[in-house]
């Protein structure tokens, strides 16, 4: 039996978000022979049209574009209606895949309720079981326990995948899946988004950064984050923070990493003056290489660090900057 999988694409500044490519990879890992994969792209009057071509190269069978000016700003009712419009062009018994982003988290339960489908939130793993099921893995209790949920292959489901937990689908040379538009007559929305005020936290998106320089209470002041930002810029990365640093007012909560902040899995995570509380580890322990700089040799962060530097961050970080910038 052929099943339909649909990835809901998200763009930022006209570019596909990395988590969309990760959701494609997660969907593909769960597909059986004969299953089909579509990507749905809600567009704002064609503003992100290049994203449709980019999607068409990522190993999907088709790209469905829902294009309407009301989709320029996210509003739950109109976006759910746009996805349902796309679904009418596809087989009804469907698995939907979204990024576990602010928008994905909001859309998924609404979509599941409208479709009468089951829902899995924040999956960090997804694989085909040998018994006709798809098995999803989720992290519980700040990452101290893992839960597995099995869905029948044929059961409709809406899944959100946690960013940075699946290798993103690469562009396939010569691939060009068909792109088609579906008509969309938006409902009268009870919600009107008049303005979107975005916090600017740096040039690199923290959730998708490959290098993160994170500071904790040991950084001691907002000015103390200056050298961390300099190091991040040298490495093409982003600055993050512990809750201790955010609570102390050294930086904005948008930078907080951990159980109640962002979850990140960069290639390189440098923790400066962060003790390594379990709630912080919940957001960064799956980073590929962890470097800890702390003057306390007994700090718990050293327990998960690949490289530990016992020292004063106000000496170590400038030394790293000098080394990297060839001064």
Site residues, ligand FAD (CB under 6 A):
216-218, 242-245, 256, 258-261, 273-275, 277, 279-280, 283, 293-296, 299, 312-314
* Helices (runs of H) and strands (runs of E) counted in the chain: 8, 16
115 vs 94: CA distance, rounded Å = 9
Asked whether residue 279 is marked as a ligand-binding residue, the answer is yes
Asked whether residue 256 is marked as a ligand-binding residue, the answer is yes
Asked whether residue 130 is marked as a ligand-binding residue, the answer is no
Asked whether residue 260 is marked as a ligand-binding residue, the answer is yes
**Torsion sign across C-alpha atoms 235, 241, 242, 245:** positive
Shortest separation between residue 286's beta carbon and ligand FAD, angstroms: 15
Of the two residues 237 and 283, which places its CB atom closer to ligand FAD in the complex?
Answer: 283
Shortest separation between residue 250's beta carbon and ligand FAD, angstroms: 9
**Torsion sign across C-alpha atoms 297, 301, 304, 308:** negative
Of the two residues 16 and 251, which places its CB atom closer to ligand FAD in the complex?
Answer: 251
Of the two residues 306 and 312, which places its CB atom closer to ligand FAD in the complex?
Answer: 312
**CA geometry: angle at 206 spanning 242 and 16, to 5°?**
155
Shortest separation between residue 281's beta carbon and ligand FAD, angstroms: 9
Shortest separation between residue 54's beta carbon and ligand FAD, angstroms: 33
Of the two residues 120 and 317, which places its CB atom closer to ligand FAD in the complex?
Answer: 317
Strand (E) or helix (H) holding 96: strand 94-99
Q: With both helix axes pointing from N to C terminus, report the angle between 102-115 and 76-87 in degrees, rounded to the nearest 10.
A: 60
| DSSP β-ladder status, 11-12 and 15-16 | antiparallel
Asked whether residue 217 is marked as a ligand-binding residue, the answer is yes
Asked whether residue 249 is marked as a ligand-binding residue, the answer is no
Q: With both helix axes pointing from N to C terminus, report the angle between 313-324 and 225-234 in degrees, rounded to the nearest 10.
A: 30
Of the two residues 96 and 269, which places its CB atom closer to ligand FAD in the complex?
Answer: 269
Asked if 274 contacts 294 with a C-beta cutoff of 8 angstroms, the reply is yes
**Inter-CA distances, 250 with 191, 219, 274, 282, Å:** 35, 8, 13, 21
Of the two residues 168 and 283, which places its CB atom closer to ligand FAD in the complex?
Answer: 283
Residue number closest to ligand FAD, CB atom = 258
269 vs 44: CA distance, rounded Å = 36
Asked if 207 contacts 237 with a C-beta cutoff of 8 angstroms, the reply is no
Shortest separation between residue 144's beta carbon and ligand FAD, angstroms: 13
Of the two residues 227 and 261, which places its CB atom closer to ligand FAD in the complex?
Answer: 261
Asked whether residue 143 is marked as a ligand-binding residue, the answer is no
Residue 187 phi, psi dihedral angles, 5° rounding: -70, 165
Asked whether residue 280 is marked as a ligand-binding residue, the answer is yes
Shortest separation between residue 311's beta carbon and ligand FAD, angstroms: 7
Shortest separation between residue 107's beta carbon and ligand FAD, angstroms: 24
3-class DSSP assignment, residue 218: helix
List, as residue ranges, the binding site for FAD. Answer: 217, 242-243, 256-260, 273-280, 294
List, as residue ranges, the binding site. Answer: 217, 242-243, 256-260, 273-280, 294
């Amino acid at each position: 039996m052929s099943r339909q999988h649909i990835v809901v694409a998200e763009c930022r500044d006209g570019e596909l978000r990395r988590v969309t490519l990760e959701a494609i990879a997660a969907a593909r890992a769960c597909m059986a022979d004969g299953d089909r994969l579509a990507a749905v792209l809600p567009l704002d009057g064609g503003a992100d049209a290049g994203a449709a071509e980019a999607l068409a190269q990522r190993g999907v069978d088709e790209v469905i574009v829902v294009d309407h000016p009301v989709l320029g700003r996210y509003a739950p009712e109109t976006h759910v209606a746009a996805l349902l419009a796309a679904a009418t062009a596809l087989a009804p018994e469907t698995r939907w895949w979204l990024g576990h982003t602010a928008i994905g988290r909001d859309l998924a339960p609404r979509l599941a309720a409208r479709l009468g489908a089951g829902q899995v939130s924040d999956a960090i793993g997804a694989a085909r079981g040998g018994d006709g099921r798809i098995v999803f893995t989720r992290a519980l209790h700040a990452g101290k326990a893992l839960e597995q949920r099995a869905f029948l292959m044929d059961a409709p489901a809406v899944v959100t995948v946690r960013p940075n937990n699946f290798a993103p689908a690469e562009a396939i040379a010569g691939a060009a899946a068909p792109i088609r538009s579906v008509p969309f007559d938006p409902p009268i929305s009870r919600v009107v988004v008049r303005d979107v005020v975005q916090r600017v936290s740096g040039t690199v998106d923290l959730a998708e950064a490959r290098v993160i320089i994170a500071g904790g209470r040991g950084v001691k002041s907002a000015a103390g984050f200056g050298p961390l930002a300099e190091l991040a810029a040298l490495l093409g990365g982003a600055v993050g923070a512990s809750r201790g640093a955010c609570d102390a007012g050294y930086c904005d909560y948008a930078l907080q990493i951990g159980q109640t902040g962002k979850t990140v899995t960069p290639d390189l995570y440098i923790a400066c003056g962060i003790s390594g509380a379990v709630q912080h580890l919940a957001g960064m322990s799956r980073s590929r290489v962890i470097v800890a700089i702390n003057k306390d040799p007994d700090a718990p962060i050293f327990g998960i660090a690949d490289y530990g530097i016992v020292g004063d961050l106000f000496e170590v970080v400038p030394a790293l900057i000098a080394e990297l910038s060839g001064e």
